Amino acid sequence: MLFALLVHGSPSGAASSLAALRFAETVLSEGHAIARVFFHGDGTTHADAMRVTPHGVTDIPARWQALAREHGVELLACVGSATRRGVMDAREAKRHGLSCSTLRAGFELAGLGQLVDAALGCDRVVSFGG
């Protein structure tokens, strides 16, 4: 079965964020696939390279990065939500007159059309939080 995931909660304050990650890891371990994970609203803070996870706390964004590398899962952050939270790739930063990207490696900015595309091309879309 092919899944797409929608994550609304931040990595530091929402239990749904960790639940989404554990769901993804379980789905993959059972032989299913995940086409993409779309982060929306506060979920886009997973893609913030400037966020630091305190020592002794699960680094959820780093685990998403590892999952993406190991299984070829796309990690997409909603461009509108991310930009409002200061998460930008080089192109968006330049467009807003800023000097640097704050997008974490392995994540991409995307529009809501990418979420619709995932919904049309997958067997199931599972939403966490929000």
- 21 close to 31: Cβ distance less than 8 angstroms: no
What mean pLDDT is predicted for residues 59-82? 96
Average pLDDT, the chain: 94
Quick: pLDDT tens for 109-121: 999 999 999 999 9
Dihedral sign, Cα of residue 76, residue 8, residue 105, residue 29: negative
What mean pLDDT is predicted for residues 55-78? 95
Band of the pLDDT at 1, cuts 50, 70, 90? very high
pLDDT at 76: 98
User: Is the pLDDT reported for residue 57 higher than 90?
Assistant: no
> Which residue is catalytic, options 27, 78, 88, 103?
78
Q: What is the DSSP letter of 106?
A: T
For domain 2-128, the CATH superfamily is DsrEFH-like (3.40.1260.10)
End-to-end Cα distance, the chain: 24
Helices 15-29 + 60-71 axis angle, to 10: 20
Quick: pLDDT tens for 9-52: 999 877 999 999 999 999 999 999 999 999 999 999 999 999 99
78 is a catalytic site residue? yes
| Distance of alpha carbon 1 from alpha carbon 92, whole angstroms | 35
Q: Where are the domains of the chain?
A: 2-128
Report which of 118, 20, 100 is spatially closest to residue 61, judged by C-alpha positions: 20
